Structure 1
Amino acid sequence: MDIINKISPSKKEREAVNKVIDKFLKKLKSRLKECELLIGGSMGKDSWLSGDHDVDIFVKFPKGYHKRDISKILQERLKNIKFNLVHGSRDYLQINKGNYLFEIIPVINIKKHEDALNITDVSPLHVTWVKKNAKNHNEIRLTKAFLKANNLYGAESYKKSFSGYVVELLTIYYGNFNNLVVEASDWKEPVVIDIERYYKNKKELLTNLNKDKLSSLILIDPVQPDRNAAASLSREKFNEFIGLCNRYLRNPSEKFFVEKKFDLNGLKNKYKKYDIILLKAKELEGKEDVVGGKLLKAFNYVKERIIKEGWKVKEANWEWNNEVLFYYVVERKKLSKDVIHFGPPKKLSEHVEQFRKRWKNYRVFNDTYHVYVKLKRKHRDIKPSVKNLIKDKYLKNLVKDIKVK
């Protein structure tokens, strides 16, 4: 498959990346002599895609540090290096070097998951397991590119899709990308996978696993049997993946591995009889997971308000790359001059009387069940309506700025 050559780092790129990482590791080691340094993430497991230069580095403090604040120690040791502090279950550092993003993650050096003081302490064990069990790294790359190109990659709360670790586990379990796609095309929830066979059967697994960890895909972490590695995967994304696999099998093509850029003209040609509302937003500062969650709330709020006003939304989506774009494909129609504002059921006479007093300057009507008044709409056309609703105070808490593009 030619796509492998396109998504896999070349020898030249590998050499350049390794040179940058080696230089950075030497600088870290000189400040953290008692610690082991481990390259984690996709880079450490050799499942990274060409052009992706995010580097996770685990700083493994000796067990004797278990009562000390290793995050504070790390910050103090690297105080002469410019970094961003990211808050999490244990704070870690982000350092930008050109087109490289280094994440420096303090952990306690453990041999088994039971010794972990924090969830991040287990992550180096994931690296070790994948490196030991992955037979063909390009097969993992295919799965990863397939998911990334179709907005199904990332376990953050605003994505609820497949994490890099889950991608690796699934590809290793099924043997290769094609086997995974064939099997997944026929998945029925709950799909239960226990790679290391910690449990005798499905019943035992479901009985012993915490109910909060159950999901459409239950993928037992091979280094931590009480953990579902796919717990963050939503049912919606699970079903999207099944549908994607079926579409791919009907007509395999390299286009399934190519990330699609937002195409306004293509959208206009597809929906010639609809209005397309395009919003450009500026995200707030902060941790990606939190900021992304706020963007998702903003996107959904605008969509819900459009529907509440009286328009039908044919399609809606958003993307967050170099900029944040929300788009809504809306039926092209002019709303009525009046909007119906319903009051209480007619049989609740006391509440009806209160409604009449509140709306004493309006004529109160009756339908079969309720009383109601007719109010003049502020906006009958979609664009003025959206321009007005994005001024809402609620949105100001979710985005730094938002405007109609």
Structure 2
Amino acid sequence: MSEEDAESDERGTSGTVDERGSSIDDDRDDVESVVAAIREHIEPDAEERDRLRTVADRLIERAEAAATERSPEADVMQVGSTARNTWISGDRDIDIFVRFPPELDRETLERYGLEVGHETLPEGHEEYAEHPYVKGTVEGFDVDVVPCFRLESAIEIRSAVDRTPFHTSYLQARLDDELTADVRLAKQFLKGIGAYGSDLRTRGFSGYLTELLVVEYGGFRELLEAAAEWQPPVELDPEDHGREHETAKASRNAEVGDADLPFDDPLIVIDPTDPERNVAAVCAAENVARLQHYARRFLEAPRTEVFEPDDPDPLDETALRAHLERRGTTPIAVQFEAPDLVEDQLYPQLRKSLEGITTGLDDRGFDVFRATTVADDTAVILAELAVANRPAVERHDGPPIHVRSHADGFYEAYADDPDAYGPFIDGDRYVTERPREFTTARGFLESDRLFDVGLGAHVETALEDEYEVLVGDGIATLCEEFGRELARYFEPRP
């Protein structure tokens, strides 16, 4: 588990605006009336609050008893959106952090943490992130019991989860009723546009980042007005740490794999509890741009619909073939059994493999037009090609003839090659036309040369076991498993 898991509010949320079954009218009035309509449906009511509080208090009491039995100086803290009152009606997450004194060694902390977790959640199961924790369900609530060290400062952290209690304390001191209501609006807005969640599949805005932005700008509307005018890279430093990202020392962004790099992101929000960390490091440029787009559209024409995720209808084979005929491109897909990894491990590997394969296709002249990757039971790397077939020969330019040593070497290398045309002179240099290694994209993808490109380790292993290459109309077989994802690709929206 990472700290973002405790703060992204992704678990157990259906993403609909109204979890109580009500409908929201198509209100196109001004921002205030739209906001009022949304607030009515995302604000947890008294009964929902009481039920969550009752369950949380009972679990906290149980965790405290188990923790202090093992370490008298241990304590328990509820963190995340339910602790900060920024959760949306229908969310079902309770995050309980068991804090042990820093003198404890990590091995003992992990052992105590699992023991406390199992005593708190007898029906729970173990999951693993930076260190193991216990996850379970109690009366419909998704509960995590996570061990961490109780430290004086987030700068002293030993793992990512250690800083989460500092985030909760920081925001609890700054969020009033009005701002918490605006945080809910911001979260629902980001969910509606598909930019909410710090998981490495979404690469969007975490719950903590969303809360910091609302606090920094002073409200939901103020955040949208600011985002509409952002000129990335956008740099925010809530506590004026004064960290200059161009010249600063290494950052604490280990969760996204750049711990040795200074901040170089489209959105930079210096963690108020840890000046060496960019809270927005995981947020992809496209999601920053997506927020800008929808902020502008909403402020120009406020609509309740933008707060509701609008998943497209799955694309069927007939519709897919119509798109292919209209576009005149050649799609090609590599399909294989998805590696057995959690999404935060799988999607970085899929993206790395996508980059490697598309680079390999481009380098061989197949001109990738657009590409994507998706996964479910199987995984797919899909590239749409502007050029799918190449001539049997390719031009190979040599050095200028006046560069004698290199020119002589080039000439001698091809002079006796019976399969090559030339060498001959074109302008001031030698040129040869040699046989092309692959005349079709399929030929390249079905060859061992596929494994010369940069692939994710687990993806490479899966491909070594078995994979299938689908070309043209052949990708229609993907509709059954990936109809919705294909609709997003062939019917794209911001």
User: TM-score, normalising length from structure 2?
Assistant: 0.64
Alpha-carbon contact 1:345-1:371 (below 8 Å) kept: no
Change in 2 beyond 3 A, CA 1:385/1:318: same
Alpha-carbon contact 2:94-2:142 (below 8 Å) kept: yes
Equivalent position SS for 1:133 = coil
Change in 2 beyond 3 A, CA 1:6/1:115: same
Deviation of 1:373 after TM superposition, in Å, equals 0.9
Cα separation, 1, equivalents of 2:62 and 2:396: 68
Corresponding position: 1:372 with 2:445: no
Alpha-carbon contact 2:236-2:268 (below 8 Å) kept: yes
Cα separation, 1, equivalents of 2:337 and 2:86: 32
Alpha-carbon contact 2:190-2:196 (below 8 Å) kept: yes
Deviation of 1:59 after TM superposition, in Å, equals 1.0
Matched residue, 1:340 = 394
Deviation of 1:180 after TM superposition, in Å, equals 0.7
Corresponding position: 1:350 with 2:409: yes
Equivalent position SS for 2:169 = helix
Q: Which has the higher contact order (CA 8 A, sep 6+)?
A: 2
Matched residue, 1:397 = 458
Cα separation, 1, equivalents of 2:108 and 2:360: 46
Corresponding position: 1:304 with 2:344: no
Match of 1:83 among 105, 119, 125: 125
Match of 1:285 among 317, 340, 348: 340
Equivalence map 1:306-325=2 (5 Å)? 306-319=361-374
Matched residue, 2:295 = 245
Alpha-carbon contact 2:126-2:135 (below 8 Å) kept: yes
Cα separation, 2, equivalents of 1:217 and 1:315: 25
Q: 265-274 vs 297-306, which deviates more?
A: 265-274
Deviation of 1:310 after TM superposition, in Å, equals 4.1
Match of 2:327 among 266, 270, 273: 273
Corresponding position: 1:152 with 2:195: yes
Cα separation, 1, equivalents of 2:78 and 2:166: 12
Deviations 1:96-118 (A, max 9, x none): 43876544332222344355444
Cα separation, 2, equivalents of 1:277 and 1:11: 53
Corresponding position: 1:229 with 2:287: no
Matched residue, 1:388 = 446
Equivalent position SS for 2:432 = strand
Cα separation, 2, equivalents of 1:26 and 1:353: 82
Change in 2 beyond 3 A, CA 1:324/1:261: farther
Matched residue, 2:473 = none
Q: 26-35 vs 164-173, which deviates more?
A: 26-35
Matched residue, 1:73 = 112
Alpha-carbon contact 1:345-1:352 (below 8 Å) kept: no
Match of 2:135 among 75, 90, 95: 95
Corresponding position: 1:60 with 2:99: yes
Letter in 1 for 2:126: N
Change in 2 beyond 3 A, CA 1:260/1:73: same
Letter in 1 for 2:436: L
Gap runs ≥5 in structure 1? none
Gap runs ≥5 in structure 2? 1-33, 251-261, 402-406, 471-477, 479-494
Corresponding position: 1:164 with 2:207: yes
Alpha-carbon contact 1:139-1:171 (below 8 Å) kept: yes
Cα separation, 1, equivalents of 2:289 and 2:128: 32
